[in-house]
Chains A and B, each alone.
Chain A
């Protein structure tokens, strides 16, 4: 779809993954995946749980929120200064989140142990060994409240949890809230799932050889570009779903056309395309186009934060020499579950500082 109404710009971005917390690090050497502790036959990019800034978040949050939530909060906190500088009323700041479910067998291991010791008394074991706020730990959208409180974003909200495409859903909702004047800025926050057995056991988990990673990404959108750096406008977006395999190519082409139509572009007009080159569907569509690999090759499949990480990665790359001062970048995604998505960016180096 074209982005009607007000133009929406990428104002700031933050990432966290095994390559580090700077987008530029994704273009350098990244660590090799390592065997998982619970299944050494599989490789993945596990990440140490980050420490939250104590001037932004209560210490209780560090203790009570599980790792995927902490990664997300860490990235959100890194955008606090840029958001504060916009000097907006909290009611004019939207918050859209892409958050996987909390999918450990139970985050409350003491209760699991107690139920194992006395299987005939599961209720006593559960109630005596579960902390009172356990329910908030299980509730993945709790982190939205923490971000809203810490960064003062009390405007429109949207929480999404559709695995890998949730990042696109959150981004589109945020773009439209700003474009349609329901907000003057929007935070888009996302996290990958935790590396747990469920990630591999789940229906629609994707091919066995998939290398997953842990990470998070956050974007700040606004009606004006950042004072420094390239001027990046969200110029188009589209999404669809492949309900039957024989319609896959038609759905992908429709999504592509929708993403490009607002700027009256053909695929050949787009100079930068970021997509998974190993995806057969995307590879077929893009066989004559120059395609850049996304973050997946470097830091693993990041699920709900994959697209936002790719987006940050595109912007981190010095582009003027290669792509020219003004160009379009298209990010295409196709998830194992059948979601197809596209985001079109208009990148303009000429008006830096405007």
Chain B
């Protein structure tokens, strides 16, 4: 058990609730949701089988974020939301600019944003021929600057590091829905081992486009249910029908407890353990005996940095949406054990 204690001192979230985590938290405590009618932009007038989602509502953008460089930089949607969430977390932490030099950035960045117009650039003039990359290369100047062909999957991690001036490890995590939990867990380990003193970790995603949502619907993951209207999220109901996709970004700032207290910061929570596992039962379903979940929870308990004096529980982030009957791959089960910090304001337990 390590003597190094690690706390969360900054948070940022961009969701359908808005651009500030406190708003999301207060709305959720009131039982609100941000699911509403949705339609992919690329589908025009054509009907799409998934009718509801939780998109980010740009009309809720606060005035002080209107000049954020994320809006002026060619980026995928997920990266814009992630960068703003990371900036919010950094600002929330109260750390000064010089502190970020020795920080790590760990980021789970979700699904690439394939642009339908880019796909069409692969089509030949002669309809007898097959789509080919050579047509795309010939039309390279027409490739969207904010789509997956121009934007690497690690772009978000790098823009955050460049913006904050971080010279520690800059890591892009790729483990599907478990990615942000892995990012936070890896950050926790890196600080505990002494590799860095500070880290900003989290994730961002936006699957609300024709290509990705079409693929999720065909996989049987996304709900096409319409009878409940916007209230279709009912994961423990016998009429549950699948996942309702959202988009956004969420980041936290982690640092050593003594460092936080020395600079007068108020920790939100202490991270005391992290574990992960891959049960690989099926590529679309976790093992029914919960072997992966057990292994993950056991590892996070074994890795804890302190012995809790109050009741506590692991807060898992299974790689499976609560509402879905099929699961994303891989069978990954990272989860973190957290407990309230010494001077708690509130605690958001989902990674």
State the A residues within 8 Å of B (CB): 1, 4, 37-39, 91, 95, 97, 99-106, 109, 112-113, 115-117, 119-124, 126-127, 130-136, 138-146, 148-149, 153-163, 166, 169, 173, 176, 182, 196-198, 200-204, 239-244, 247, 251, 254, 337-339
CA distance A122 to B127 in the complex (A): 17
B136 CB → nearest A CB, Å = 5
Q: A133-B219, A142-B329 are in contact. Are A157 and B278 (CB under 8 A)?
A: yes
Residue ID in chain A nearest B124 by CB atoms: A116
CB atoms of B133 and A37 under 8 A apart: yes
Q: Which residues of B contact A (CB under 8 A)?
A: 40, 42-44, 46-49, 74, 105, 109, 111-112, 114, 116, 118-123, 127, 130-134, 136-137, 140, 143, 148-155, 157-158, 161-162, 164-176, 179, 182, 186, 189, 193-195, 210-212, 214-221, 275-281, 283-284, 291-292, 295, 299, 303, 328-332, 334
Q: Are A148 and B331 in contact (CB under 8 A)?
A: yes
8 A-B contact pairs sorted by A residue (CB < 8 Å): A37-B134, A122-B210, A123-B40, A132-B219, A134-B218, A162-B170, A197-B140, A202-B151
Given A121-B46, A122-B210, A135-B216, 9 further pairs, Cβ under 8 A: A109-B131, A122-B46, A123-B43, A123-B214, A134-B215, A145-B330, A156-B277, A182-B303, A243-B166
* Interchain CA distance A140-B111 in the complex, whole Å: 9
Partner of A141, one of B118, B166, B176, B275: B176
CB distance from B55 to the nearest CB of A (A): 18
Q: Is the CB of A132 within 8 A of B218?
A: yes
How many Å from the CB of A206 to the closest CB on chain B?
A: 11
Smallest CB separation, B200 vs chain A (Å): 13
Contact B210 A157 (CB under 8 A): no
Cα separation A196 to B267 with both chains bound (whole Å): 46
- Docked complex Cα distance between A124 and B218 (Å): 12
| In-complex Cβ contact of B137 among A38, A102, A103, A251 (8 A) | A38
Distance in angstroms from B169 CB to nearest chain A CB is 5
Q: Output the least CB separation between A88 and chain B (Å).
A: 14
Residue of A nearest to B296 (CB): A156
Expressed in whole angstroms, the Cα–Cα distance for A146 and B332 within the complex equals 12
State how many angstroms separate the Cβ of B246 from the closest Cβ of chain A: 17
**A201 contact from B42, B114, B140, B179, Cβ within 8 A:** B140
Given contacts A126-B211, A141-B174, contact A117 B299 (CB under 8 A): no
B contact residues around A1 at 8 Å (CB):
193-195
Q: Name the CB-closest residue of A to B154.
A: A162
- A134-B215, A242-B167 given as contacts; is B283 within 8 A of A145 (CB)? yes
| CB-nearest residue of chain B to A1 | B195
Q: Which of B44, B133, B331 contacts A145 (CB 8 A)?
A: B331
- Nearest residue (CB) in B for A40 is B134
* Known contacts A166-B172, A203-B150, A203-B152, A155 near B331 by CB under 8 Å: no
Given A1-B193, A105-B136, A182-B303, residue A123 in contact with residue B47 (CB < 8 A) = yes
CB within 8 Å for A244 and B193 given contacts A101-B152, A145-B280, A202-B149: no
Interchain CA distance A163-B85 in the complex, whole Å: 23
Contact in complex: A38, B176 (CB < 8 Å): no
